[in-house]
Amino acid sequence: MNAKSTVACKLAVLTGIGTIAAALSVSAFAMPMNSDYGTLVQGGNANREITLADGAKYLNVQRNETVKINVGGKSFTWRFDTLGTPIIKLGDIAPAGIDAKNVTVYVSPDPSELG
The candidate with the shortest Cα–Cα distance to 41, out of 86, 95, 102, 114, is 95
- Tally of domains within the chain: 2
Same domain, 15 and 48: no
Of 18-22, 34-38, 63-67, the least confident? 18-22
The boundaries of the domain holding residue 47 are 39-113
Contact present, 40 and 77 (Cβ < 8 Å): yes
Termini Cα distance of the chain: 69
CATH number for 51: 2.60.40.2280
> What confidence tens digit (pLDDT) does each residue in 52-90 have?
999 999 999 999 999 999 999 999 999 999 877 899 999
Averaged pLDDT, 30-53: 81
* Alpha helix segments (H runs only) across 31-114: 90-93
Same domain, 18 and 48: no
Averaged pLDDT, 8-27: 48
| pLDDT greater than 80 at residue 21 | no
